[in-house]
Structure 1
Amino acid sequence: RKSVQPMAARDSGVSYDQLHHFIGSGVWDASALETALLIEADKLVGGDNAWLIIDDTALPKKGCHSVGVAPQYASALGKTANCQSLVSVTLASREVPVMVGLRLFLPETWTDDQERMARAGVPTERQIARTKPEIALEEIDRVIGSGVRFGCVLADSGYGSSGPFRQALSERGLLWAVGLSRRQNVYPADVALVFPVASTGKRRKYHIADRPPVSAEAMLAGEKWQKVSWRRGTKGRLTCLFA
């Protein structure tokens, strides 16, 4: 079982108390090991045809003492439940995925309670509110800084619906493909910002678009759709409709 006591029992050279302190206190720096992992992942699957995939991972948890545990959407259960939510980063090529990053997300019920975070041992530099897209961008920068090669960043609508996240990917010169909510407001590429002068009332403070937005669903309604199949999964061919 994955608990400290049976692990310590496998090696007479380390006591239960020593191993528990090592794991529980977290006084070691994992950055060197994480860098070594990135180097090995790049050797295995890195290259221009590789994908860097951003996603969520949920760990269902009971109680309220584990760091980051709160009622939130658990992808493993397909519903909102008590769990820890983590941002995962995977480097993949062909049929081979290699996990290269996993970072805990702290909901507001934690970041608004300094005493609770201190009691649970959250590092001081991590006792701040950060969105999942912000965490993902920090991980992407870490992967790029290590020299890992990939051709495109992929993410679902949990990240793709964030305008700042999409803009940050473009600012880094990355190719990317992300999911969007069907209700996402979209504009034509040639949209312009104007500053209309109100004939009455207070002067406007902000620019507005020169035409109204439409939902992504409405924009694609008139497009020609086709079914694309890309590989065989555990339950048959994986297919989807694309415009």
Structure 2
Amino acid sequence: MAGASIETTLELWASSLRDVKRRMHPLFTQDRVARSAEAFLDGLLGEERRKTGWMRAEAAGDPGPWRQQAILGRRRWDADALRDIVRDYALETLADDDAVFVVDETGFLKQGKASCGVSRQYTGSAGKITNCQIGVFACYVSGHGHAFIDRELYLPKSWTDDKARMAKAHVPQELIDRANGGFATKPALALAMIERAIAANVPFSFVAADTVYGVGDIEMALRRAGKGYVLGAKSNDTFYSWGKPSAVASTAKEIADRLPLSAWKRLSAGSGTKGERLHDWAYVELADLAGGDYNEAQGGQVWTRGLLIRRKIVDGDLAFFTTWAPSGTTIEALAKIEGHRWAIEDSFETAKNELGLDHNETRSWHGWRRHVSLVMLAFAMMATIRVHANGPATPSPKKIRRTMTTKAARPRSTAN
């Protein structure tokens, strides 16, 4: 489907920007602070490649970055309330009962030791152990589009074991006082986001995530909630079957190695930037279980536990996924669900390259959450514009900004 014209897209851009500013305005007790927050959002959406305080201040016409910095650090407002605004705003356009709730993490490279949560730790963003913060994010992915709807900053043990360090970074006292210094694993942060989404009646049918999040607590919570999952598994994880014609009691790798050629299907996990993302897939059903065993409300519904295997066409590299799906769910459907994880990777790249997700200059707990939540709002606005402009042919933020600049220049050249 052809995208909307540039003129229509610009109108959508302007009306959407007014809308999101109106929604976040009640978070601030003073109009001047709200205006500074609006200018901050303008800066994130602006054409400057680096979204630093000085760059945003220059775009806003401020003499320095102090107002921008105050929004993230000194002013009193609730970043979690903004997170909920972002979620509700995104769902107005993207909501779908068949949506997939995708969880993943990304790294924020840092210098020094003062930024909240910073530590030498592995991040896929750099592909190595390096000095960074780690954020765990939830992305809502439906047939309409995708947007971030939740986030948490991961605090490693080197932080949660040091209460003075936590206090200096303005981590809330109630978190400092918790058992283990408030330490929460990445799966625990993901589970909290899943539970928030379920409590808020966010419509989705599956959760997709990589091996970090394929743990028992998440699996059991989703079974009780009547949600399916496609979660990464390790090659040496052991899988057992029962009540199936072929008995299985082996590691994921051993199961894959014994599969006949007829068990593999070449399927698309969805469209990417370079076309269909084709892999070879195999699916092994392990057991059929009654949903009522986990939640009485699911009485009579049968769910299938399985092992999904993906094999790269080029080099035969294998990836494994533990699955939980309504009985009769096809391998084609499961491959598509797993493929939805691509959306969050695309979202990280776009949010960092276009909206300054990793350009946060604050060191505090609140600063990180506020900056990230404002970026999420900007991203959700762009996702909404894309849908209302009729599909993926909608110009990117960079192209729209370039067009706006060009149009703004035309009257001046005519006057000369």
Bucket of the pairwise TM-score, normalised by the shorter protein: 0.7 to 0.9
Using the TM superposition, give the Cα deviation of residue 66 of structure 1 relative to its aligned residue in structure 2, in angstroms.
0.7
Q: 1:215 is matched by which residue type in structure 2?
A: T
Query: What is the alpha-carbon distance in structure 1 between the residues aligned to residue 269 and residue 61 of structure 2?
Result: 51
Greater fraction strand: 1
Q: 1:183 is matched by which residue type in structure 2?
A: N
Contact 1:38 1:146 in 2 (8 A): no
Q: Which of 149, 152, 157 is equivalent to 2:206? A: 152
Q: Which of 101, 118, 133 is equivalent to 2:187? A: 133
Match of 1:188? 241
Q: Classify the secondary structure of the residue corresponding to 1:25.
A: coil
Using the TM superposition, give the Cα deviation of residue 100 of structure 1 relative to its aligned residue in structure 2, in angstroms.
0.7
Query: What is the alpha-carbon distance in structure 2 between the residues aligned to residue 26 and residue 228 of structure 1?
Result: 51
Higher relative contact order (CA 8 A, sep 6+): 2
Match of 2:228? 175
Verify: 1:215 aligned to 2:251, yes or no.
yes
Structure 1 unaligned runs (5+)? Answer: 191-211
Match of 1:3? 52
Contact 1:227 1:241 in 2 (8 A): yes
TM-score by length of 2: 0.49
Using the TM superposition, give the Cα deviation of residue 155 of structure 1 relative to its aligned residue in structure 2, in angstroms.
0.9
Percent sequence identity is 32
Structure 2 unaligned runs (5+)? Answer: 1-49, 177-181, 283-416
Using the TM superposition, give the Cα deviation of residue 117 of structure 1 relative to its aligned residue in structure 2, in angstroms.
0.8
Task: Quickly say closer, same or farther: Cα 1:16–1:140, change in 2 above 3 A.
Answer: same
Using the TM superposition, give the Cα deviation of residue 235 of structure 1 relative to its aligned residue in structure 2, in angstroms.
3.4
Match of 1:55? 104
Task: Quickly say closer, same or farther: Cα 1:114–1:13, change in 2 above 3 A.
Answer: same
User: Residue deviations 1:54-111, cap 9 Å, x none?
Assistant: 1111111121111111111111112221111111100011372111112100111111
Task: Quickly say closer, same or farther: Cα 1:16–1:58, change in 2 above 3 A.
Answer: closer
Count of paired positions: 221
Q: Which of 164, 167, 185 is equivalent to 1:118? A: 167
Greater fraction helix: 2
Q: Which of 281, 297, 310 is equivalent to 1:242? A: 281
Task: Quickly say closer, same or farther: Cα 1:148–1:164, change in 2 above 3 A.
Answer: closer
TM-score by length of 1: 0.81
User: Residue deviations 1:104-149, cap 9 Å, x none?
Assistant: 0011111111111111111223331101111111111212222221
Contact 1:86 1:103 in 2 (8 A): yes
Contact 1:87 1:104 in 2 (8 A): yes
Contact 1:39 1:146 in 2 (8 A): no
Verify: 1:77 aligned to 2:126, yes or no.
yes
